[in-house]
Amino acid sequence: MNKTIRVLIAKPGLDGHDRGALVIAQGLRDEGMEVIYTGLRQTPAQIVATAIQEDVDCIGLSILSGAHNELFPEVMKLLKENQADDILVIGGGVIPDEDISFLKEHGIAEIFTPGTSIKEIADFIRTNIEEKINKQSRPASVNKIDHIGIAVKNLDNVIPFYKDILGLTYLGMEEVKDEGVKIAFFEIGGIRIELLEALHQESPIYKHIEKRGEGIHHLAFEVENITEQFSRLRQRQISLLQDHPKNGAHGTKVGFIHPKSSYKVLIELCEKS
């Protein structure tokens, strides 16, 4: 791996002893990592802000005061709220065995108790960051074309063309209020054709027709875990139209790739319920 791993060593809470934290910080530097140390008595909010600002790969929380069960989960919560929960978080200090599983349930990847060697900690960080990078650089896994969306001004005018002239199987109609559309569904060879009519002038379909006229609107791929595909795409600097997947027709979860990232084709990913 070529990337230099950046680590934030942080001291949450009120205890005033940082000899252990400083030893770890220096030890990880000796292992070739870039290490930033927060200093004593940091709040979870300060730690998370520093981690994001410094764009670290890993946060090492060190604590002796016994307040780990409150402070560590708080750090994890704030990371999630700031969409920074891809940062690896490990903990160390005086932490009783019975608290370790509780902390791991809250997303702390590992707890290192006194006596652990720096080498062990460094190896753990390296292995995890490498795995994460490998995982994130995988392509999005799309299974098949699920449907093709076609923008139309008036469903009643267009339905007979697909139904009676082309002879496609007509599956019925559904309104998707969230999208401001009424959809007529057809099926051909396991792929759906969706005719999309705007319900009102705020509908993206209304705007599409105003700008480009009727015609093909989007191409939809079926995926298994849309949230994971979103994060893989983001890692590849692909722009998405939503931060999070939303509800589509038939109880699906859907999200769109911004056409500027997909050579002008609006691409939808959809996960079946």
What is the x/- site pattern for Zn ion, positions 213-252, by CB under 5 A?
-------x--------------------------------
Q: Cβ 218 to Zn ion, closest distance in Å?
A: 6
Candidates 18, 179, 197, 268; binder of Zn ion (CB under 5 A) is 268
Q: By CB under 5 A, how many residues form the interface with Zn ion?
A: 3
Q: Please pick, from the candidates 149, 180, 204, 245, the single residue that binds Zn ion as defined by CB under 5 A.
A: 149
Q: From the CB of 252, what's the least distance to Zn ion, in Å?
A: 9
Binding track, positions 93-132, relative to Zn ion; x by CB under 5 A: ----------------------------------------
Burial (CB count <10 Å: 0-12, 13-18, 19+), residue 19? exposed
Instruction: Count CA within 13 A, CB hemisphere, residue 109.
Output: 19
**Beta strands in the chain, from DSSP E residues, in sequence order:** 6-10, 34-37, 58-63, 88-93, 110-112, 142-151, 169-176, 181-188, 191-198, 215-223, 246-247, 253-257, 267-271
Degrees, nearest 5: CA angle 7-13-14: 130
Of the candidates 7, 50, 56, the residue with the CA atom closest to the CA atom of residue 27: 7
Sketch the per residue contact string, 39 through 78, with Zn ion: x for CB under 5 A, - otherwise: ----------------------------------------
CB of 65 to Zn ion, least distance (A): 53
The SS3 of residue 272 is coil
The torsion angles phi and psi of 220, rounded to 5 degrees, stand at -115, 130
* 32, amino acid identity: G
CB of 141 to Zn ion, least distance (A): 19
Query: Cβ closer to Zn ion: 95 or 220?
Result: 220
Contact between 271 and Zn ion by CB under 5 A: the answer reads no
What count of Cα atoms within 13 Å lies in the side-chain half-sphere of residue 123? 5
Residues that bind Zn ion (CB under 5 A): 149, 220, 268
